Amino acid sequence: MAHLYPHLRVHQVFGANTDVGKTIFTTALCLASSALPLSSHSTTSSPPGDVFTASKQGLGERVHYLKPVSTGALDDADDAHVSRYASATQYKTLYRFSEPVSPHLAVELERRAKLAEREVGQGAQPPTDEQFVRDVGDWIHAAALQEQGSQGVAYVETAGGVHSPGPSGVSQSHLLRPLRLPTILIGSAELGGISTTRSAFESLLVAGYDVEAVLLFPSPRYGNVEYLQKFFAEEHGIPVFGLGGPNGNQGRVFGGPPIKNVDTSQDKAAMVQFYSGLVTGTPEGFSAEHTHGGVYNVVKYLRQRHTQRISEISTMAQRTRDTCWWPFTQHQLTRTNQEVNVIDSAYADFFSMLDQRNSSPSSKIGDSIKSNSLLQPIFDGSASWWTQCLGHAPQRLVTAAAHAAGRYGHVLFPNGTHEPALLLAELLTGKNQPSTSSPSLASNPGYGWADRVFFSDDGSTGMEVALKMALQSSILRYSSSHPSSSAAADKAKPGQQAGYRAGKPKKEWQVLGLKGSYHGDTIGAMDACEPSVYSEAVHWYRGRGFWFDPPTVEMRSSGNVTVSLQVSDKDLADRMRTRHLSQELKQDQPKEGVIFEQCYTSMQEVYNVEARLRANDPLVEFYRSSIRDQLKQLTKEQGRKFGALVLEPLVMGAGGMIFVDPLFQRVLVDVCRSSSDLFSLDDAPLSPPSSCSSTIVTTESAKEGDWQGIPVIYDEVFAGLYRLGPCTPASVLGVTPDISVLAKILTGGMVPMSVTLASKSIFETFNKSDSKVDALLHGHSYTAHPIGCAVALETLKAISELKQSPEWETCQSDWDVTKKVDTGVWSFWSKSSIEKLTELDNVDHAIAMGCVLKVALKDGSGQGGYTSTASVDVLKQLRFGESLIQGHPSIPVIQENQQEKLAYNVHARPLGNVIYLMSSLNTPPAVLRRSEELLLKAIKESK
């Protein structure tokens, strides 16, 4: 977690390289911080008297110093130097290794030495990355607890340069990133130091750090200070301090420390004189390479920046309420600043969020929290609206984005190409893959069916593209005259308008879909959904379609997995069809109609669609006949025209995490593809003549390999690219679409981008002539932007590596899936936790798949749906309940005396009476298990 305390400044000190004076400057900062009175706000004057005397008198802050990892002899250790010249400092080193080399090599040399002496496994083991960061975080918090009622400062000095490895070999800048401490960069005064310092700074910048100040020794010969001051001031607004102390010639030369004297007493006297001058500074106007005021001025500046940072983050909530317009939010319900989530940063699965519980009306937190960090780790329970898959800010995606930005910025795409877009399109379709890879639906979502990739900016616009593709394809095949829009039809000659027969009004092309679906907020995507709370107040909305009531999959307290379908009393045909089901299915009588429940022994049985088809599952014929009869009624009796089947495969997200029976979706696709006799009716009579059959002659006849019936669109914005386990839900359904839309996970949650995959026959719809009007006239300025394409490539590469990880294999085994089974469904959430949730009295059902864990609460009001408030108490407890201080929340540790506290807080978005949590594809198992416990506890304690 990040740390921010009103009473404790915290800074980490990085060096541009080794031997640039990192320990010297850190020692001077410790000395100056303890000597400079807290009441001294002047930036031009220093406190009177000797700096060492002032330091011992404790006029300034109480100082803490940490060296996380040290290598080499104890006599040369950095903490020993700090204690010698800044004696008022409390110091500590977490890990020591005897060899004076890089920490990762020191660990290896120590291991080899133990191996030679057969002592492997004895003594302390090197820390894991998570434990290393937790130890640093815990040390910082311990320092904060000491400073209650006083003002303190903590300096964390790293080893070597910015990318010098930690004990595990991971770059220190990446290793310490979860803490994201304000950074002081020590630059290089040597020849080449300008490049070294700038490179180090850019590495820290890209890693997400805020560099507060740059310090380096004066460099009169090379002018490094003067150059860097100009560069950092103009480009980044960061001050550069050229600081030195007297190092010879009767104190008239100020620079780096004096050469070490073999005489210990003389060496110490020289260093005392050096530090005194370094802290108090050179006389004004000494030279352009020397910054007046010494390290005292640095400390004053850092104190001001600390105060400004707290002031800034404390006002963000009100300023946001005054200026921003939030999505999906009724602003009247956000009545206080405490209800605004102020996010300082994010890393892995956690936000670093301003902790406002002390001032929250609903808070029950005691005064003990006042000594905690103002920033709190919050588990991102919605994966930031389903976008995250590798955690926040993974370094490999950050680097990919930076490289593409540096190489391209943005370039236009029409009639052009660039490497990231081409490689991504080929990867998604499985074309031109390297010989080392075997394309398949398990890795390439468009393999075997998609021929083209159309780039757009987000899921909603990707769906707009898909609808245009599908509807135009159907119109060209089934319409007796080709104009497809009202405007085009109006241009036709009188008496020849498209859709008119014997004075009858023209018919509108519509879509087929499922109730509870959601495809985005652009008007076309909205029109492809049934009327709902999302469209209720949208004036231009016109639901253009018919939506089937989908059977759902649920896990209940019985331990079985059930498929539930509701049949209305008003639907006589369905009532007739269910007669043969009544002996095989459990029945329940709701207020209207009958709910039939088919029980299965496991998730694997429900989601093995091919096996259910082969075994003639009792629902197969019911689904097939009811769908076919409904289509007949819609087309033959009502004369409606349909141009696409639009599905969210397996799970409908925004509708309430509705897990749809995959058998129903499979049968729906099959029936629609075999019903061209119904979709081809141009002016349907009430009773179709005998000539109406699947061989009916149409304007555009289907050829082998063409789409059949009507084009099938899979909206995989939420469900695609491993969110539910498989690369594409098509591998579970056993049938591929004609058009598919991917987004969200596509770019690892880093930048917005969407792709619409289309089969060859869909593409040929728009490639039949030289006329531009026949083309797909859709696009946006940032089509196939190189940054998004490059990040998407790196995301898919990272996921392909995760698929082979032991963590994935463990999760699959938990759900009885082996690597040999491509169609098995599984979840990162444990099967046992789902079963425990289903046993709770206030839980209706629970289920999990892939990253998604869903819990549907019983709603006493009977309201249900998106507008239900049944989940409010649970979400409030998860978000605002008292939690532990985590040095690093990826290792949630709870002591016996802390059982009443949450390991960390959770931010989750409600979907009416449905609570869901969503993990990344690489969330640590410890975080998954702890999050399950938190959810179970919160639901138990809710009313």
Report pLDDT for 282: 81
Closest CA to 446 of 716, 723, 825: 716
Q: Enter the tokens of residue 702.
A: 């289907």
* Residue 760 buriedness (CB in 10 A; 0-12 / 13-18 / 19+): middle
Residue 362 predicted with pLDDT over 50: no
H/E segment holding residue 856: strand 852-857
pLDDT given for residue 692 in this prediction: 38
Q: What is the mean pLDDT of residues 898-922?
A: 87
Task: For the chain, give the percent of residues with pLDDT over 70.
Answer: 85
pLDDT above 70 (res 864):
no
Whole-number Å distance between alpha carbons of 706 and 701? 9
Instruction: Give mean pLDDT, residues 3-13.
Output: 96
Pairing state of beta strands 561-567 and 594-600?
A: antiparallel
pLDDT band of residue 696 (cuts 50, 70, 90) is very low
Amino acid present at 453? V
- Token pair listed for 805: 């990880």
Among candidates 120, 132, 204, which has minimal Cα distance to 168? Answer: 132
* pLDDT exceeds cutoff 60 at 104: yes
Quick one: CATH architecture of 8-309?
3-Layer(aba) Sandwich (3.40)
Collapsing DSSP to helix, strand or coil, 754 comes out as strand
Q: Which candidate, 918, 934, 923, 939, places its Cα nearest to that of 385?
A: 918
Collapsing DSSP to helix, strand or coil, 660 comes out as strand
Question: In the prediction, which pLDDT does 365 show?
Answer: 43
- Mean residue pLDDT of the chain comes to 88
User: Which helix or strand (DSSP H or E) is residue 295 part of?
Assistant: helix 294-323
Distance CA 323, CA 811 (A): 44
Distance in angstroms (rounded) separating the CA atoms of residues 288 and 228: 12
Closest CA to 6 of 378, 359, 376, 372: 372
Find the distance separating the first CA and the last CA of the chain, reported in whole Å.
31
Q: How confident is the model at residue 883 (pLDDT cuts 50, 70, 90)?
A: confident
Give phi and psi for 181, each to the nearest 5: -80, 145
The secondary structure element, H or E, covering residue 577 is helix 572-577
Domains 8-309 and 398-428+444-482+505-802 share a fold: no
Strands 754-759 and 450-456: antiparallel
Which residues, listed in sequence order, are joined to residue 545 by a DSSP beta bridge? 511
Instruction: Please state, in angstroms and rounded to a whole number, the distance separating the CA atoms of residues 776 and 764.
Output: 11
The torsion defined by the Cα of 600, 603, 607 and 608, in degrees rounded to 10, comes to -80
Nearest to 164 by CA among 101, 93, 89: 101
What is the DSSP-derived secondary structure letter of residue 338?
G
pLDDT class of 694 with cuts at 50, 70, 90: very low
Got the DSSP string for 113-165?
Answer: HHHHTT-TT-SPPPPPHHHHHHHHHHHHHHHHHHTTTS-EEEEEEEEEETT-B
pLDDT at 871: 84
- Its pTM stands at 0.91
Name residues whose C-beta falls within 8 Å of residue 46's C-beta, 6 or more positions apart in sequence. Answer: 36, 280, 281, 293, 294, 296
Residue 894 token pair:
């709870």
What are the backbone angles phi and psi of residue 512, rounded to the nearest 5°?
A: -105, 145
Predicted confidence (pLDDT) at residue 591 exceeds the cutoff of 80: no
In three-state secondary structure terms, 209 is: coil
Convert the pLDDT of each residue in 72-89 to its tens digit: 888 888 999 999 999 999
pLDDT on residue 570 = 62
Q: Would you say domain 398-428+444-482+505-802 falls under CATH 3.40.640.10?
A: yes
**Helix/strand/coil (H, E, C) string of 686-750?**
CCCCCCCCCCCCCCCCCCCCCCCCCCEEEECCCCCCCCCCCCCCHHHHCCCCCEEEECHHHHCCC
Instruction: With a cut of 80, say whether residue 263 has pLDDT above it.
Output: yes
d(CA 139, CA 65): 10
Strands 240-242 and 183-186 turn out to be unpaired
What is the mean pLDDT of the segment spanning 654-667?
96
764-800, pLDDT tens digit by residue? 999 989 999 999 999 999 999 999 999 999 999 999 9
Tokens of 442: 């398990």
Q: With beta carbons less than 8 A apart as the criterion, state whether 838 and 556 touch.
A: yes
pLDDT at 367: 46
Read off the pLDDT band of 502 (50, 70, 90). low
Sorted by where each begins, the domain ranges of the chain are 8-309, 398-428+444-482+505-802, 827-941
Residues 6 or more apart whose CB falls under 8 angstroms from that of 167 comprise 69, 95, 103, 104, 106, 107, 126, 127, 132
Is the model's pLDDT at 98 over the cut of 60? yes
Greatest pairwise CA separation for the chain in angstroms? 114
Give the pLDDT band of residue 693 (cuts 50, 70, 90): very low
The β-bridge partners of 504 are 501
pLDDT, tens digit (0-9, with 9 covering 90-100), for 739-766: 999 999 999 999 999 999 999 999 999 9
Contacts of 485 (CB under 8 A, 6+ apart): none
**In CATH terms, is domain 827-941 a member of 3.40.50.300?**
no
Residues 836, 555: Cα–Cα separation, whole Å: 11
Sheet containing 712-715, strands listed edge to edge, beginning at the edge strand earlier in sequence: 450-456, 754-759, 739-742, 712-715, 641-647, 509-514, 545-548
At residue 668 the predicted structure's pLDDT band, cuts being 50, 70 and 90, is very high
Which pLDDT belongs to residue 149? 80
> What is the mean pLDDT of the segment spanning 201-210?
98
Q: For residue 287, name the pLDDT band (cuts at 50, 70, 90).
A: confident
pLDDT tens string 131-175 = 999 999 999 999 999 987 889 999 999 999 999 999 999 999 999
| pLDDT tens digit sequence for 544-567 | 999 999 999 999 886 789 999 988
DSSP state for residue 911 in the 8-state scheme = B
Vertex 390 angle, CA 834 and 356, to 5°: 75
Find the range with the poorest average confidence among 308-317, 322-331, 594-603, 624-633: 594-603
